[in-house]
């Protein structure tokens, strides 16, 4: 079988898995009134209103480092998530002490997926230094685009 056909098959399978996860999580994230919760996301980047009930970067009672944060919610076995892993590690190294980077596997920890209103993976949540959610992105995102998003949000990060 030719390589490009194999790639098309793998891509189709990845889309099917992501769609199945999104469908399952959508049916599990209804509020008591039957409405979709405010934490659910669209397939495009969405900037959250700071006055809404936003997820905080650190759980209550934890010590905050007062750093901007990138939270990536995905799965170890998800292809786009695997592609994100080295980027997240690079960001952790290059911006240590200036940016907090965290990964949560929502297949191993489905409660986190529900808590953050995740419908598709990977989803990246951008937080400011005060722990307020400022933006979300769904899907693979490169290092330069992550840094550009933080710049857009008024966070200028300089490497070591």
Q: Does residue 79 lie within any of the structural domains?
A: yes
Look up residue 125 and give its two tokens: 């949540």
Indicate whether 110 belongs to any domain: yes
**CB under 8 Å, gap of 24 or more: what pairs does 137-140 form?**
137/45, 138/41, 138/42, 138/43, 138/44, 138/45, 139/43, 139/80, 140/80, 140/83, 140/84
* Closest by Cα among 78, 82, 103, 88 to 21: 78
Write down the pTM of the prediction.
0.62
Mean pLDDT value across residues 85-94: 97
- Catalytic (active site) residue 42: no
- pLDDT bin (cut points 50, 70, 90) of residue 41 is very low
Beta-sheet strand order (sheet of 123-127) = 100-105, 69-74, 123-127, 133-138
Domain, as residue range, for 82: 3-152
**Does position 139 have pLDDT exceeding 50, yes or no?**
yes
- On whether residue 160 sits in a domain, the answer given is no
CATH code for position 147: 3.40.30.10
Q: Which of 67, 78, 99, 146 is catalytic?
A: 78
157 is catalytic: no
User: Which band of pLDDT confidence, cut at 50, 70 and 90, is reported for residue 55?
Assistant: very low
The total number of residues shown for the chain amounts to 160
Position 158 confidence tier, pLDDT thresholds 50, 70, 90: confident
| Domain annotation covers residue 159 | no
Is residue 76 a part of any domain in this protein? Answer: yes
Helix axes 143-152, 79-94, angle to 10 degrees: 60
Does 87 reside within a domain? yes
Residue 158 lies in a domain: no
Query: Mean pLDDT, the chain, as a whole number?
Result: 76
Among the options 71, 81, 87, 146, which is catalytic? Answer: 81
Among residues of the chain, what percentage have pLDDT more than 70?
59
Which 3 state secondary structure label does DSSP give 155? coil
d(CA 47, CA 58): 19
Tally of domains within the chain: 1
The pLDDT of residue 96 is above 90: yes
Whether 21 maps to a domain, the answer reads: yes
Phi first, then psi: give them for residue 126, nearest 5 degrees.
Answer: -100, 125
């Amino acid at each position: 079988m030719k390589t490009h056909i194999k790639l098309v098959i793998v891509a189709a399978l990845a889309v099917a898995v992501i769609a199945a996860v999104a469908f399952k999580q959508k049916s599990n994230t209804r509020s008591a009134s039957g409405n979709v919760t405010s934490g659910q996301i669209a397939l495009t980047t969405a900037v959250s209103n700071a006055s809404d009930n936003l997820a905080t970067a650190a759980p209550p009672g934890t010590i905050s480092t007062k750093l901007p944060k990138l939270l990536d919610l995905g799965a170890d076995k998800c292809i786009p998530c695997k592609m994100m892993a080295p980027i997240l590690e690079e960001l952790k190294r290059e911006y240590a002490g200036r940016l907090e980077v965290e990964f949560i596997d929502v297949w191993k920890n489905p409660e986190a997926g529900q808590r953050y209103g995740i419908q598709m993976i990977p989803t990246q949540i951008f937080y400011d230094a005060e722990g307020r959610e400022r933006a979300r992105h769904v899907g693979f995102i490169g290092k330069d685009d992550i840094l550009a998003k933080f710049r857009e949000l008024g966070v200028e990060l300089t490497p070591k």
